[in-house]
A and B are shown apart, each in its own frame.
Chain A
């Protein structure tokens, strides 16, 4: 069977890869958006923290024999805790300054972290075994769906929508949104805003680490795995606009799909299509698809 001269197997296969990539774009851009909302910094270390999440799972498995499911819980907490330390020790000093200093600091941290891991592990990737429960797959008739990939898409959707629900629909989320609008007023109402900022950064970093654990069985675990990905995620963030949580999720999945389709119909542009879309969006809606112009 063919659609537009492309075998359906190949088409759905690429769409699936697109959805997988989209899951990671969504998780990572969501973390960036949450952090940006409250801290007003773009977390350049996000890619390195994603990589550390994957390495954390790898260490747990190879050094301690702790499997995938526990890693899914431990890695985000551990890397998130590291994030909290970074926020307390360094980022905290920069809130009064130009936001660009936050970008420069986190870029420097990313270089340090990636350099340290590259010293230790070289540039080659380490394989991470797929959890036994999720190996194999289902034949859906029109395509073969590996169980693990289905799990990644569903899990990331659940995490994204859960985050959206907490931020948009709960009391905790309303504090958070209020602090984004006017931190000093919220502080005056007796809410500990600095602590909220710290925890928010930890949570955003935890999301990146979670994405890293989920990515470990699909891509290999390597020191550079986050470096190029984060640039694509930046483009995703520019396209979506950082104003809206739902915007980050929709744009992430949508761009993953578009990238997958490009791989089928015009493979030469598959690396660049997201950047081209970014340029077009900037021409017609400079604030991003879901952003509000300032």
Chain B
């Protein structure tokens, strides 16, 4: 017990320094995102924000729950399909279509989460991968997704009946608002008592259980939260690009989000955003060169695992004296 109280007294000032750093980081990020569309192609930035939100949601699970999902494409893709279908076939306004898509992913997260949390570690990764592959085949065969074509020319519609999203600027700031909202919500979840318990379970599950926490309930809740925000990213992406396709449910998408988070820094607050920016930029840049994108992704995986496992943000935070949660 003495050790615990000592720990608290040591970490308290550190934690507040860390919080200050993160607040500065957040302000810088918002400033960049406000100015960037005047310099950089806004559609590219919207893509980055969608993937950044996706990676942040994924990070909630791996970075704080210690659960490596290799099937997160199913949440991105499911929300995309449902949102696109709702907007195009049912004539839902964009805000309602996005909510519907996100809710579908949350429900899927509940079902798959109940199955996946029954095993840990490597098995957890294989189970989520297999479940995602099952959904891939389902979407490949079911008629409403239009197979290889995907759901095309999804209407962007009018947000809340007043903002016309066909304008790039309206769309950009809508995506920015969704991204920042999602980012802050995830940040809040991580730094709440819930997030602390989740970390405790990751560090030492039997001990957390012996303290009276129901580990499975926390893991399931983390899984559903992660699925929900991944869904929010996927639904938004479907509205932005007016498209929902098989690419988003394919296993390579699950690999990509792992890569973004790993490169940026597992368990860091800003890592997934940085990782998403780099990977999306790389894909844009390398896309004329065919399979070189895959090779570059593989090489980054290998380099990250062998040389800088803390990721870019994690390494920077470690260099500047933080505990690696920067």
The smallest C-beta distance from A121 to any residue of chain B, in angstroms, reads: 10
CA of A273 to CA of B293 in the docked complex: distance in angstroms?
32
What residues on B are CB-neighbors of A231 within 8 Å? Answer: 129-130, 133, 251
Interface size on A, residues (CB 8 A): 42
B39 interfacial by beta-carbon distance below 8 Å: no
B279 interfacial by beta-carbon distance below 8 Å: no
Q: Are B295 and A115 in contact (CB under 8 A)?
A: yes
The smallest C-beta distance from A240 to any residue of chain B, in angstroms, reads: 12
Q: Mark A266-290, 1 if CB is under 8 A from B, else 0.
A: 0010011001101100110010000
B126 interfacial by beta-carbon distance below 8 Å: yes
CA of A74 to CA of B130 in the docked complex: distance in angstroms?
33
The smallest C-beta distance from A184 to any residue of chain B, in angstroms, reads: 21
11 contacts between A and B (CB under 8 A): A90-B302, A90-B306, A104-B258, A104-B305, A108-B299, A112-B299, A115-B292, A234-B126, A272-B137, A279-B134, A286-B118
Q: Which residue of B lies closest to A116 (CB)?
A: B295
Known interface pairs A104-B258, A104-B301, A105-B302; A115-B294 also in contact (CB < 8 Å): yes
Q: Are B134 and A275 in contact (CB under 8 A)?
A: yes
The smallest C-beta distance from A96 to any residue of chain B, in angstroms, reads: 12
Q: Which residue of A lies closest to B138 (CB)?
A: A272
What residues on B are CB-neighbors of A275 within 8 Å? Answer: 130-131, 133-134, 137
Q: Are B292 and A111 in contact (CB under 8 A)?
A: no
Q: Is the interface of A mostly helix, strand, loop or mixed?
A: helix
Known interface pairs A115-B298, A119-B295, A268-B141; A238-B126 also in contact (CB < 8 Å): yes
The smallest C-beta distance from A61 to any residue of chain B, in angstroms, reads: 24
Known interface pairs A104-B262, A272-B138, A276-B134; A118-B294 also in contact (CB < 8 Å): yes
What residues on B are CB-neighbors of A234 within 8 Å? Answer: 126, 129-130
Q: Which residue of B lies closest to A114 (CB)?
A: B294
CA of A271 to CA of B130 in the docked complex: distance in angstroms?
11
Q: Mark A100-143, 1 if CB is under 8 A from B, else 0.
A: 11011101111111111011000000000000000000000000
Q: Are B258 and A119 in contact (CB under 8 A)?
A: no
Q: Are B127 and A115 in contact (CB under 8 A)?
A: no
Within 8 A of B (CB), among A29-66: 36, 41-42
Interface size on B, residues (CB 8 A): 40
Q: Are B129 and A107 in contact (CB under 8 A)?
A: no
Q: Mark B238-263, 1 if CB is under 8 A from A, else 0.
A: 00000000000001000100100010
CA of A108 to CA of B296 in the docked complex: distance in angstroms?
9
A186 interfacial by beta-carbon distance below 8 Å: no
The smallest C-beta distance from B234 to any residue of chain A, in angstroms, reads: 21
Q: Are B291 and A110 in contact (CB under 8 A)?
A: no
CA of A104 to CA of B141 in the docked complex: distance in angstroms?
30
A195 interfacial by beta-carbon distance below 8 Å: no
A214 interfacial by beta-carbon distance below 8 Å: no
What residues on A are CB-neighbors of B118 within 8 Å? Answer: 282-283, 286
The smallest C-beta distance from A49 to any residue of chain B, in angstroms, reads: 14
The smallest C-beta distance from B300 to any residue of chain A, in angstroms, reads: 7
Q: Are B291 and A118 in contact (CB under 8 A)?
A: yes
Given A42, A90, A116, which contacts B125 in the complex, CB threshold below 8 Å?
A42
A17 interfacial by beta-carbon distance below 8 Å: no
Known interface pairs A115-B292, A119-B295; A105-B301 also in contact (CB < 8 Å): yes
The smallest C-beta distance from A193 to any residue of chain B, in angstroms, reads: 21
CA of A279 to CA of B130 in the docked complex: distance in angstroms?
9
CA of A93 to CA of B306 in the docked complex: distance in angstroms?
8
Known interface pairs A109-B302, A283-B115; A99-B121 also in contact (CB < 8 Å): yes
Within 8 A of A (CB), among B280-326: 290-295, 297-302, 304-306, 309
Q: Are A111 and B294 in contact (CB under 8 A)?
A: yes
Q: Are A238 and B123 in contact (CB under 8 A)?
A: yes
What residues on A are CB-neighbors of B138 within 8 Å? Answer: 272
Known interface pairs A99-B121, A234-B129; A111-B255 also in contact (CB < 8 Å): yes
Q: Are A105 and B129 in contact (CB under 8 A)?
A: no
Q: Which residue of A lies closest to B290 (CB)?
A: A119
Q: Are B302 and A103 in contact (CB under 8 A)?
A: no
The smallest C-beta distance from B231 to any residue of chain A, in angstroms, reads: 20
What residues on B are CB-neighbors of A110 within 8 Å? Answer: 298
Most chain B CB inside 10 Å of its own CB: which residue of A94, A103, A104, A119: A104
B23 interfacial by beta-carbon distance below 8 Å: no
A237 interfacial by beta-carbon distance below 8 Å: yes
What residues on B are CB-neighbors of A114 within 8 Å? Answer: 291, 294
Q: Mark B67-106, 1 if CB is under 8 A from A, else 0.
A: 0101000000000000000000000000000000000000
Q: Are A103 and B298 in contact (CB under 8 A)?
A: no
